Structure 1
Amino acid sequence: MSIHTRLTLWYTGILAAILLLFSLALYSLLSQVLYEQVDDAIRSRAGEIGSYIQTQADPMRLLITRQVQIPPVDVFSTSNTFVQIVDRQGNVVARSANLGDNYLPIRRESFDQNLAGNAVLYTLSTPQARLRIYSAPLVIFDPLEGETIIGVVQVGMSLHDVEATLLTARYAIGLGVAFTLLLAAGVGAFMAHAALRPIDHITQTALQISRAEDLSRRLPAVRTQDELARLTDTFNEMLGRLEELFQQQQRLVADVSHELRTPLTTLRGNLDLLRRGMERLPPEDLQDILQTMEGEITRMSRLVADLLLLSQADAGVQIKKEVVELDAVLLDVYRQALLMADGVRVELGHEDRALVLGDRDRLHQLLLNLVDNAIKYTPAGGTVRLSLYRREDWVQVSVADTGVGIAKEDLPHIFERFYRSDRARSRQTGGTGLGLSIAKWIAEAHGGHLTVESELGVGSTFTLWLRPYVPRAGTAESRAI
Structure 2
Amino acid sequence: MLSIAKKLSISKKLTLIYSSILMAILLVFTLFTFVLIRSFMIKDSQSILSSNADSISNYIETNGTINKLDSLNLSQDINYIIYDDNKNIIFSNTEKVIPSFDRHQNKRFRGKDAFERKGGAMSTSRSLNVNGKNYYIYVTRNFEDIGDRAGDIAEILITIGILGMIVSLISGFFLSRKLLQPIKDITRTAKEITSKSLDKRIVLNGAKDELNDLADTFNLMIERLQIDFEKQKRFVSDASHELRTPLAVISGHVNLLNRWGKNDVEQLDKSLKTLKNETESMNRLIENLLYLAKGDNDVLSINKEELKLSSLLRDVVDETKLSYENVEISYHSDKDIVLKADYSKLKQVIRILIDNSIKFSKDPVKIIIAAFEKDDEIHISVIDNGIGIPKESLSKIFDRFYRVDESRTKATGGTGLGLSIAKQIVEGHDGRISARSNLGEGTEINIILPMLSE
TM-score (norm. length: structure 2): 0.83
CA 1:199 to 1:297, structure 2 compared with 1: closer, same or farther past 3 Å?
same
Give the alignment partner of residue 109 of structure 2, picking from 108, 114, 128.
114
Q: Deviations over 1:373-414 (max 9, x none)?
A: 212222343222333234463322222222221111101111
Give the alignment partner of residue 146 of structure 2, picking from 154, 162, 165.
162
The answer for the alignment partner of 1:31 in structure 2 is 38
Structure 1 gap ranges (5+): 59-68, 143-147, 472-481
The answer for the alignment partner of 1:335 in structure 2 is 318
Greater mean alpha carbon deviation, residues 450-459 or residues 332-341:
332-341
Alignment of 1:441-480 (within 5 A): 441-469=424-452
> How far is the alpha carbon of 1:307 from its aligned partner?
2.7
CA 1:321 to 1:85, structure 2 compared with 1: closer, same or farther past 3 Å?
farther
Q: Deviations over 1:42-69 (max 9, x none)?
A: 11222222223223426xxxxxxxxxx6
Percent identity among equivalent residues?
31
The answer for the alignment partner of 2:278 in structure 1 is 296
The answer for the alignment partner of 1:384 in structure 2 is 367
Say if 2:52 is the partner of 1:45.
yes
The answer for the alignment partner of 1:353 in structure 2 is 336
Give the alignment partner of residue 135 of structure 1, picking from 105, 125, 135.
125
CA 1:98 to 1:213, structure 2 compared with 1: closer, same or farther past 3 Å?
farther
Q: Distance in 2 between matches of 1:214 and 1:6?
A: 33
CA 1:187 to 1:337, structure 2 compared with 1: closer, same or farther past 3 Å?
same
Paired amino acid for 2:51:
S
Alignment of 1:110-259 (within 5 A): 110-111=106-107, 114-115=109-110, 117-124=111-118, 126=119, 129=120, 131-142=121-132, 150-193=134-177, 200=184, 204=188, 207-208=191-192, 210=193, 213-216=196-199, 239-259=222-242
CA contact (8 A) 1:84 1:92 kept: no
Q: Distance in 2 between matches of 1:104 and 1:281?
A: 146
CA 1:107 to 1:302, structure 2 compared with 1: closer, same or farther past 3 Å?
farther
CA contact (8 A) 1:34 1:162 kept: yes
Q: Distance in 1 between matches of 2:90 and 2:244?
A: 125
Q: Deviations over 1:449-481 (max 9, x none)?
A: 22212122232121222233265xxxxxxxxxx
Q: Distance in 1 between matches of 2:50 and 2:306?
A: 97
Matched position secondary structure for 2:303? coil
Q: Distance in 2 between matches of 1:106 and 1:35?
A: 26
> How far is the alpha carbon of 1:256 from its aligned partner?
0.8
The answer for the alignment partner of 2:3 in structure 1 is none
> How far is the alpha carbon of 1:345 from its aligned partner?
0.7
> How far is the alpha carbon of 1:199 from its aligned partner?
6.3
Give the alignment partner of residue 267 of structure 1, picking from 245, 250, 257.
250
Greater mean alpha carbon deviation, residues 371-380 or residues 10-19:
10-19
CA contact (8 A) 1:120 1:136 kept: no
CA contact (8 A) 1:324 1:360 kept: yes
Greater mean alpha carbon deviation, residues 363-372 or residues 389-398:
389-398
> How far is the alpha carbon of 1:174 from its aligned partner?
0.8
> How far is the alpha carbon of 1:35 from its aligned partner?
0.2
Greater mean alpha carbon deviation, residues 96-105 or residues 162-171:
96-105
CA contact (8 A) 2:396 2:402 kept: yes
Matched position secondary structure for 1:369? helix
Paired amino acid for 1:156:
T
> How far is the alpha carbon of 1:151 from its aligned partner?
4.6
Structure 2 gap ranges (5+): 1-7
Paired amino acid for 1:137:
S
Q: Distance in 1 between matches of 2:26 and 2:178?
A: 25
CA contact (8 A) 1:110 1:135 kept: no
> How far is the alpha carbon of 1:163 from its aligned partner?
1.3
Q: Distance in 2 between matches of 1:109 and 1:368?
A: 116
CA 1:346 to 1:92, structure 2 compared with 1: closer, same or farther past 3 Å?
farther
The answer for the alignment partner of 2:408 in structure 1 is 425
CA contact (8 A) 2:84 2:90 kept: no
Q: Deviations over 1:137-178 (max 9, x none)?
A: 223254xxxxx8x25322232321111111111111011111
Q: Distance in 2 between matches of 1:252 and 1:169?
A: 79
Paired amino acid for 2:401:
F
Paired amino acid for 2:343:
R
CA contact (8 A) 1:390 1:396 kept: yes
Q: Distance in 2 between matches of 1:40 and 1:92?
A: 27
Q: Distance in 1 between matches of 2:330 and 2:308?
A: 16
Paired amino acid for 2:112:
N
Q: Distance in 1 between matches of 2:424 and 2:88?
A: 109
CA 1:212 to 1:302, structure 2 compared with 1: closer, same or farther past 3 Å?
closer
The answer for the alignment partner of 1:65 in structure 2 is none
CA contact (8 A) 2:352 2:422 kept: yes
Matched position secondary structure for 1:403? coil
Q: Distance in 2 between matches of 1:197 and 1:269?
A: 61
Q: Distance in 2 between matches of 1:371 and 1:455?
A: 18
> How far is the alpha carbon of 1:123 from its aligned partner?
3.1
CA contact (8 A) 1:325 1:353 kept: yes
> How far is the alpha carbon of 1:100 from its aligned partner?
4.5
RMSD: 3.6
Give the alignment partner of residue 315 of structure 1, picking from 287, 292, 297.
297
Q: Deviations over 1:240-284 (max 9, x none)?
A: 4443333222111101111111222333344445556686353x7
> How far is the alpha carbon of 1:287 from its aligned partner?
5.4
Q: Deviations over 1:302-358 (max 9, x none)?
A: 3333333333333345733321211111122223323443x6414123234211122
Alignment of 1:270-285 (within 5 A): 270-273=253-256, 280-282=263-265
Matched position secondary structure for 2:437? strand
Paired amino acid for 1:169:
I
CA 1:202 to 1:311, structure 2 compared with 1: closer, same or farther past 3 Å?
same
Greater mean alpha carbon deviation, residues 34-43 or residues 243-252:
243-252
Matched position secondary structure for 1:373? helix
CA contact (8 A) 1:84 1:104 kept: no
> How far is the alpha carbon of 1:38 from its aligned partner?
1.1
Q: Distance in 2 between matches of 1:270 and 1:344?
A: 35
